[in-house]
Amino acid sequence: MDAKDRLIQELRRVERLVVLTGAGMSTESGLPDFRSKDGLWRKHRPEELASVDALLQRPLLFYEFYRYRLGLLDGVAPNPGHLALAELERQGKLHCIVTQNVDGLHTQAGSRNVYEIHGSLRQARCHTCGRSHPVETLRKPVTSLSELPRCRCGGLIRPGVVLFGEMLPEDALSRAIAAVETCDALLVIGTSLQVYPAASLPRLALDHGARLWVINLTPTPYDAFADIVVTGKAAEVLGPMTRPHE
């Protein structure tokens, strides 16, 4: 039995599963990831674009980047991998999804218990006072400093994502940690496990006696500690889970 069949068999038996997803979960929906050959960070350094420093020191580049990323969300939909995870939750097997993704596709697929530990590109807020703002505000082109989107308090309106150098949302992270500490298995899908603290979750799961399973196109630093490693595309591997058990 190959790794993919073993994983599917385990997913049919597992009782308390937690899933950790990264950008590789959404590439089959048409969204680029970050570190693959045509990923977002192949053309830019994250710190240049996705940081508080960029927001404050290079705002025109910052707003152009996030307007571009918001445009990428138009017309993308959950893929069979997202739908399979929502099905596993409906079957009572999947306790929660901890996602690094900010695209909202897990929720769109019908998953209810989703912890967005890197925030969400579907929301916007004031960088100074924290007030929420419609994300459409960030779709307007910003071509001069006089056009920067500002809150009525005068602060800059920024996407609801965690920028490099910022703390992760405390509530989402603490719930994610509690779930990983008590799961029977952690399934890691579509992440290079390069960014902390998300990348510390596999070790946390193993330290609490959980099994570790991986679905990824390329090797990850935790493959050696995993019981099952499926080298493949998330939607292709998980797609059969959306069909009732034959």
Residues near ligand APR (CB under 6 A) are 22-24, 27-28, 33-36, 39, 46, 100, 118, 190-192, 194-195, 215-218, 233-234
Q: Is 69 exposed, middle or buried (0-12, 13-18, 19+ CB in 10 A)?
A: buried
User: Shortest gap between Cβ of 9 and ligand APR (angstroms)?
Assistant: 20
Identified catalytic residue from 106, 118, 127, 133: 118
CB closer to ligand APR out of 94 and 168: 168
Q: Which are the contacts of 207, defined by CB distance < 8 A and separation ≥ 6?
A: none
User: Shortest gap between Cβ of 43 and ligand APR (angstroms)?
Assistant: 13
| 3-state DSSP of 11-44 | HHHCCCEEEEECHHHCHHHCCCCCCCCCCHHHHC
CB closer to ligand APR out of 92 and 165: 165
Q: Describe the chain by its helix, strand, coil percentages, rounded to 5.
A: 40, 20, 40
d(CA 88, CA 167): 30
CB closer to ligand APR out of 125 and 151: 125
User: Shortest gap between Cβ of 177 and ligand APR (angstroms)?
Assistant: 17
CB closer to ligand APR out of 37 and 245: 37
CB closer to ligand APR out of 14 and 40: 40
Q: Alpha helices of the chain — where are they, by DSSP H?
A: 3-13, 40-43, 46-49, 52-57, 59-73, 80-90, 105-108, 170-181, 201-207, 234-238
User: Shortest gap between Cβ of 196 and ligand APR (angstroms)?
Assistant: 10
Q: Which of 161, 174, 216, 180 is nearest to 19 (CA)?
A: 180
User: Shortest gap between Cβ of 119 and ligand APR (angstroms)?
Assistant: 9
Instruction: Tell me the residue number closest to ligand APR, measured at CB.
Output: 24
Active site residue 118: yes
Residues acting as catalytic residues:
118
